[in-house]
Amino acid sequence: MLVVVCVKQVPDTTQVQIDPVTNTLIREGVPFIVNPYDTHAVEEGLRLKDRFGFKVVALSMGPPNAEATLRKALSLGVDRAILLSDRAFGGADTLATSKVLSAAIARLAKDEEVGVVICGKQTIDGDTAQVGPGIATRLHCSQLTLVDRVEDLDPSVRKIRVRRKLEGRHEEVEAPLPVLLTVVRELNRPRYPSVPMRLASEEAAVEVWDNKVLELDPNGIGLKGSPTWVSRIFSPERAKGEILGDGARDPEAAAEILISKMLEKDLLAL
């Protein structure tokens, strides 16, 4: 049985800048990292491998330099890494992205059963949380989102039970395999690669699949197949903070200043 983990290369959001003319991200000189939520997806795939002997495939869609992201996954112990890279895939929104990823997973399933697909709950560059559910919908499989614990998995009866992190509470859910999970950071603590594994990953093969492999309609993928697009992008404006009085030595005076400031801005109703 295969466990497929979807990973994405994203720009380090702490260093992202925006071109004021084109309203696009300035990518030159910006370091790229593995989407943080996806690191937990990889770790959970490896834990299933350790426990059940499943094979783990890391799957990513992106430009050629996204190979570095997959090599990090290989250094941690995934068995196979596949990069979906083609100009036809470029400019994809979440709908077109889920179409390409699900097509690749379906192709993998022709050779070996795919029992579990794991994605991070969202990416830090888009924050839509739509790609994982989109893949599940296209593959017609169960989807369990916001997973913070895999309680049990029984391959013999083809069922999985997980705990979902909801607002103010948790929920335990059972579903049949195949299943897609989207995971949160509380799920696990990612492991570090050993030096031998890191060195071996530099020599390991990263398969590259283009649209000749997937044979998708070019009009339904990439920019042409994306019904949504970004019309404007901007950095959030962050006003500088102001220190009011000396709360440690004279809290009453500081409170009076705070109240007067709030009254000035009509933030209090008296």
Q: Has residue 174 got a pLDDT over 70?
A: yes
pLDDT tens, position by position, 88-113: 998 889 999 999 999 999 999 999 99
**Residue 216 is assigned to a structural domain of this protein:** yes
**Residue 241 or residue 157, greater confidence:** 157
Pairing of strands 179-183, 114-120: parallel
* CATH number for position 164: 3.40.50.620
**Residue 186 is assigned to a structural domain of this protein:** yes
**Virtual torsion, Cα 19, 6, 106, 209, nearest 10 deg:** 60
Q: How sure is the predictor about 32, in pLDDT bands with cuts at 50, 70 and 90?
A: confident
Same domain, 184 and 253: no
Q: Which of 78-87, 137-146, 233-242, 257-266 is predicted with the least confidence, judged by mean pLDDT?
A: 233-242
pLDDT tens, position by position, 55-93: 999 999 999 999 999 999 999 999 999 999 999 998 889
Query: How many domains does the chain contain in total?
Result: 2
Same domain, 24 and 147: yes
**Residue 228 is assigned to a structural domain of this protein:** no
Residue 113 CB partners (closer than 8 Å, separation 6+): 1, 2, 178
Q: Has residue 31 got a pLDDT over 90?
A: no
Q: How sure is the predictor about 124, in pLDDT bands with cuts at 50, 70 and 90?
A: confident
Same domain, 192 and 248: no
Same domain, 13 and 115: yes
Same domain, 157 and 34: yes
H helices present in the chain, as ranges: 36-52, 67-76, 94-111, 131-139, 195-203, 211-214, 251-264
Q: Has residue 12 got a pLDDT over 80?
A: no
**Residue 32 is assigned to a structural domain of this protein:** yes
User: What does the mean pLDDT of the chain come to?
Assistant: 90
Range of the domain at 88: 2-220
**Residue 188 is assigned to a structural domain of this protein:** yes
Q: Has residue 20 got a pLDDT over 90?
A: no
Q: What is the pLDDT of residue 234?
A: 65
Q: Which of 37-41, 158-162, 223-227 is predicted with the least confidence, judged by mean pLDDT?
A: 223-227
**Residue 225 is assigned to a structural domain of this protein:** no
**Residue 44 is assigned to a structural domain of this protein:** yes
Alpha carbon 161 to chain centroid, angstroms: 22
